Amino acid sequence: MRPSTPLRIGVLIAGCLWGCSCAQGDDWKSVIRHDGVNDPHDAGWQLSSQRIQTGSGDEKINGKTWTYWQLADRGGEDGLYEFPLSDQQVSGPWRITVVARLVDTNAVGTGFGVVLLDGQYYWRLNFNEDGVYYDSYSGQTTRFGAPMDTTDDYHRYELQLEPVASCDLGAADRVTLKVDGKVHARLVRRDFRRIRTARNIAFGSTNSIATGEVRYHLVEFATVAAGRKLSRSAAPDGARRSAAATTIPRSVARQVPGSPWHIGSSKQLFIDRRFVAEAERIKLTVNPPVKRRAAVLKSDKPWDAFRLIYFSLAKDGDVYKMWYQAFDDDQWGGGTSRMCYAVSQDGLRWEKPSLGLVEYNGSKENNILLDEPSKLSYVFIDPHGRPQQRYKMLTGIGTTRIRTSPDGIHWTLHPRVVWKPTWDTQKQAWWDTRIKKYVIQTRVQLERENELPFPFVKPIESDPPVVAPELHRPIRALGRLEVDDIMQPWPTQNVRTIMTADEHDPPGSDIYHPGGVYQYPYASDAYFMFPLTYQHFQPGEGHPHNDGVNDAQFSASRDGIHWMRYDRQPFIPRGLPGDPDHGDTFGTGFFVRQGNYLYQYYTGWPWTHGGFRLLSPAERQNRKNWGRQFVGVVVHRLDGFVSANAPQEGGYLITPPLVFKGHCLELNINVSALGGALVEIRNEAGKAIRGYTLADCDRILMNDVAHVVRWRGNPDVSRLAGQPVRLKIALRSAKLYAFQFVND
């Protein structure tokens, strides 16, 4: 299936899910509804695949005539009708109603049904021949209640979800499934995968492996109407609620000068001192990742025999996709760059499928997408684009044009030139969900010191400070452009320079490439970039033309415009002599989440930037020197890019006033065996609140990405929600990465 937005399941939808106290009568308000014979497109649903067979019809089952909208997957490709949801539409309890009949399927566990998507994760309710299935806490599909035949008739499935009332794992039922008006099963938190704020609801074929057909008579997503409250009598036995649990929308941190930070229930990172008003012996520290030694992609085909170079990645449903440029011969001796394609189910094991599109040495049995020079091409999935243009490619070694594709494989070249500068570096683009615009990251060139072709962005207040160079070194630097329509010519005059080598960098250095920008989906207001730095050799140190050393650094931003460079140390360091990345490392902005860890892709190369050209002609044609560039992975802790560190003698930080929504406080924290941590909640004036003092706090001694803070065993902070509070976090031999007030 294709999540176009992130999700976490267990919470079924956007923070509400828990417990099934259900709205009564007119309390439910329909957000989106699909009725039988009507084309879902007419109501704003978007179909993710053109290979899915659709259409309307009617049939008589057990004496009753049903109208339906058919979805038939005969080609083993998922296809979902998706509808976007806003924060307001998912801020309270929800109900999903489906009336459908499964005609046939080869699926086991997953196949056809409804899906919630939050941009990162998904939660599925699937109809199979022997029953209804969901994604369990372990990520496996599990039957939802007793077995039942879903093919015999149209059944009404009603899924009711509500926000959790407390952080206690033993709280009451969280999700209830009714079938034909009767309770079929209930789930508690430990049973199902968690999902944060839902961004889409979808129905159709949810598994790219399964085939079959389902007929939908009704699909509806409803929530509690604004201003309504649920009847307490509707809550299941043992459920505990608070007023703050009713609406918990996901939000970004915002502040009116002089007033508290309104953080809602969003996670907050310590990438700067935004949430450090006062501190003693606390240091913000960058935490480089750990290299995973095995390569995930190598040169092992004749058409990519010499070198892999610029590449781009995306996740589409359950499939990871990679587009990379490959040379079949010496890059500096007549080799041709071609765009190639690879796929993976887990982001670690990649296949090069035979596409049958481009002939190479008399055969089309290869994974070549385009048989033309494409060294600088870049692909991204556009969540804002039409289905036929979901994939977009920036292409061109000279001027830039756009290709579009519905599947990332079959491309249409649009004739219009969108960008005329011919700087020799891959441009990157993405849809920024914060500003609702396309962002293009490009090279800018300085012919001479301080001669910027585009103005540098105006600096802002920040601690650590954002870069605001007094000296701009030539030649290469980074620029940024925002556009509403990426298919139209880009307004060159709106480019702004965002990073150059400066007075803190050695002479003869520049910023070669952005490395990729990662708009972090798991926390509020966080962007990460991995600029490829380049120090040029002086005469006699290397190849006389364009040679030097490169590695990937780390920078972070609250808005993707103003960047902090921290200590300017290597983030993905080069290897030792004999290592495959001894000469160069190049990090990207694409990450795969695996539980508590994030996998980031990078390339390594054993030679310096121009070092291969120093080899003799015979060495340059020796195949043992070919295929040495690879795509590898480095491993990060979730949220672990920057931490607030305290030494063994201890330290503390105090936040500015915060206004939150939620029921408990979670910390992403790593405490050493001889360390510890305590949390105190204070009022806006700085006075400790009774019951939430340091003396009341249960000691924190573990390493955890979501440690629930408790005070004498009590995690519930809901009575403090909505009012300004401060946190005092005392640490000893510990690293604090993030905090979050959560609904569950």
Q: Which tens digits make up the pLDDT trace of 441-451?
A: 999 999 999 99
pLDDT in tens, 202-236: 888 887 777 888 999 999 888 764 434 333 223 33
The pLDDT value given to residue 121: 58
When pLDDT is averaged across residues 152-169 and rounded to a whole number, the result is 67
Residue finishing a domain among 637, 664, 684: 637
Asked if residue 9 belongs to a domain, the reply is no
Q: Minimum mean pLDDT among 327-331, 424-428, 496-500, 527-531: which range?
A: 424-428
639/669 Cα distance (integer angstroms): 10
Dihedral sign, Cα of residue 304, residue 305, residue 307, residue 313: positive
- Statement to judge: residues 575 and 605 lie in one domain: yes
Pairing of strands 642-646, 725-742: antiparallel
Residue-wise pLDDT for 56-81, tens only, equals 889 999 889 999 988 888 776 678 88
Report yes or no on 113 lying in a domain: yes
Q: What is the pLDDT of residues 528-563, one digit of tens each?
A: 999 999 999 999 898 888 899 999 999 999 999 999
Spell out a b/e string for 285-314, using b for 16 or more CB atoms within 10 Å of the CB, else e.
ebbbbebeeebbbbbebebbbbbbbbbbbb
CATH number at residue 226: 2.60.120.200
Question: Quick one: pLDDT at residue 142?
Answer: 84
* 150-159, 350-359, 691-700: the lowest-pLDDT one: 150-159
In a domain, 2, yes or no: no
Q: What is the pLDDT of residue 360?
A: 95
Assess if residue 363 is contained within a domain: yes
Instruction: Give me the domain span that covers residue 679.
Output: 254-286+642-742
| H or E element at residue 84 | strand 79-84
Contact criterion met (CB below 8 Å) for 13 and 174: no
> Does 622 share its domain with 708?
no
Measured CA distances, 6 to 116, 261, 315, 497 (Å): 9, 25, 11, 31
Q: Which 3 state secondary structure label does DSSP give 356?
A: coil
Domain co-membership, 680 together with 628? no
Q: Are 579 and 646 in a shared domain?
A: no
Quote the number of domains for the chain: 3
Do both 359 and 420 map to the same domain? yes
pLDDT at 246 over 60: no
Strands 319-327 and 290-297, how do they pair? unpaired
Nearest to 516 by CA among 596, 603, 408: 603
- 316 and 420 in a single domain? The answer is yes
Of the candidates 595, 615, 637, which is a domain's last residue? 637
Peptide bond between residue 511 and the one before it cis (omega within 30 degrees of 0): no
User: Span 384-392, mean pLDDT?
Assistant: 91
Residue 484, domain CATH = 2.115.10.20
Q: Report, as an integer, the average pLDDT of 108-128.
A: 77
Range scoring the smallest mean pLDDT among 35-44, 222-231, 415-424, 452-461 = 222-231
Q: Which long-range contacts (CB under 8 A, 24 or more apart) does 179-188 make?
A: 179/132, 179/145, 179/148, 179/155, 180/155, 180/156, 181/156, 184/132, 184/144, 184/145, 184/146, 184/148, 185/144, 185/145, 185/146, 186/20, 186/236, 187/134, 187/144
Report which of 663, 659, 668, 673 is spatially closest to residue 732, judged by C-alpha positions: 673
Residue 289: pLDDT over 50? yes
| 6 in a structural domain | no
Q: Give CA–CA dist 666/681, Å, rounded.
A: 13
Q: What is the pLDDT of residue 165?
A: 35
Please confirm whether the linkage preceding 383 is cis (ω < 30° from 0).
no
Q: What is the mean pLDDT of residues 504-514?
A: 95
Query: Which pLDDT score is estimated for 580?
Result: 94
Question: For the residues 344-348, what does the mean pLDDT come to?
Answer: 93
Same domain, 390 and 452: yes
Residues 597/697, Cβ–Cβ less than 8 Å: no
> Amino acid letter at 334?
G
Clarify whether residues 552 and 682 are in a common domain.
no
Quick check: 241 pLDDT over 80? no
pLDDT band at 373 (very low <50, low <70, confident <90, very high): low
pLDDT tier for residue 30 given thresholds of 50, 70 and 90: confident
Q: Mark which of 583, 603, 637 sits at the end of a domain.
A: 637
Q: Is the pLDDT of residue 3 over 80?
A: no
Same domain, 99 and 191: yes
What integer best gives the mean pLDDT of the chain?
85
Among the ranges given (8-17, 113-122, 399-408, 492-501), the one the predictor scored with the smallest mean pLDDT: 8-17
| Residue scoring higher pLDDT (597 or 233) | 597
**pLDDT higher at 408 or 116:** 408
Q: What is the pLDDT of residue 702?
A: 94
Position 308 in a domain? yes
The predicted structure's pLDDT at residue 606: 95
Residue 704 is part of a domain; what is its CATH number? 2.60.120.260
Q: Each residue of 603-660: pLDDT tens digit? A: 999 999 999 999 999 999 999 999 999 999 999 999 999 999 999 999 999 999 999 9
Domain annotation covers residue 397: yes
Share of the chain above pLDDT 70, in %: 86
Q: Does residue 12 sit within a domain?
A: no
Instruction: Go through the chain and tell me how many residues it has.
Output: 744
pLDDT at residue 647, rounded to an integer: 98
Q: Are residues 432 and 468 in the same domain?
A: yes
627 shares a domain with 654: no
Query: Would you state the pLDDT for residue 196?
Result: 56
Closest CA to 190 of 243, 142, 254: 142
Q: Which residues pair with 655 in a beta bridge?
A: none
Q: Which two tokens stand for residue 657?
A: 């006033």
What average pLDDT does the segment 554-578 reach? 96
pLDDT at 32 over 80: yes
Are 131 and 268 part of one and the same domain? no
Query: Which one has a higher pLDDT value, 669 or 209?
Result: 669
What is residue 314's predicted lDDT score, i.e. its pLDDT? 94
